[in-house]
Amino acid sequence: MRRIDFMTVVGILAGIGLMGGALVMGGNPKLFWNVPSLMVTVGGSFAAVLINFSFQDVKNVFGTVKQAFTTDLMEPEELIELFGELARKARREGLLALEDDAGRLDDPFFSKGIQMMVDAMEPEMIREILETDMAYMARRHEIGQSIFKTWGNLAPSFGLLGTIIGLVQMLARLDKPETLGPSMALALITTFYGAIMAYMIFIPLAGKLSLRSEQEMMLHQMMLEGIISIQSGVNPRILEERLRSFLPAKPRQQQAGAGEIAREEATDRRI
């Protein structure tokens, strides 16, 4: 269930609107369109990105961009409910009964974890496998963000590089002073392109991807704790309390109070 991330779209439209407005208000917006400047700034920084990363990484970026505009992460509250349900089912019908639930989330991490639990793999091995999975997924996410961050950091440098190229060319033929202004304006446009690329596009996109990755890591951490807890037969309400500690306090209070849960558990253990 992939949903559009309105903030990214709104932010980009607002940015285009505001920048465009400022260009139009200042007179001739055509001033800011120059192909050689685009070549130096966009092309040059992209060439540097190609040197920095591998073919596989750069190919993956296009899929990654999509993630900044849409989201298919589930709500943590739903996950807590799901795990509460699974824990109750496991208590009633045994761990093997959960085999059919492995496919309930469209997340290979979840189904792998449930399967390993159902198949009675040892908890330390499950934890180790899932933590390795998370660590290297985080690392792959970082590479994606890193492409945008690197591009965002290089873009203003290539902008300045273009401005210097323009200045050198201009200064070498100072004999026609009436061309001085427009030449220098042209030289500055590369700096403008570099700044727009960096501050309006790549750096915020890298930030968004980083937040997404963190949310996904939190969901996976919750799944990991939930799976290990179900396997060790923890009380379903303790499990919910355990998972709810990942979330802010407010939604937690709307649920049954901690006291009730713990009391039930205490009863539970005395039996």
Nearer to a second copy, 82 or 240 (CB): 240
- What's the rounded Cα separation, in Å, for the pair 168 and 146? 33
- Nearest of 104, 114, 141, 132 to residue 223 by alpha carbon: 114
Nearer to a second copy, 82 or 209 (CB): 209
Sign of CA dihedral 163, 13, 67, 79: positive
Burial of 166 (0-12, 13-18, 19+ CB in 10 A): buried
Tell me the closest approach of the beta carbon of residue 131 to a second copy, in angstroms: 8
Place of tokens 């002073």: 177
In the chain, DSSP finds a helix count (H) and a strand count (E) of 12, 2
Place of tokens 């009391």: 263
Tell me the closest approach of the beta carbon of residue 116 to a second copy, in angstroms: 5
Tell me the closest approach of the beta carbon of residue 134 to a second copy, in angstroms: 9
Tell me the closest approach of the beta carbon of residue 171 to a second copy, in angstroms: 4
Tell me the closest approach of the beta carbon of residue 66 to a second copy, in angstroms: 14
Nearer to a second copy, 58 or 97 (CB): 58
Which tokens go with 65? 């961009």
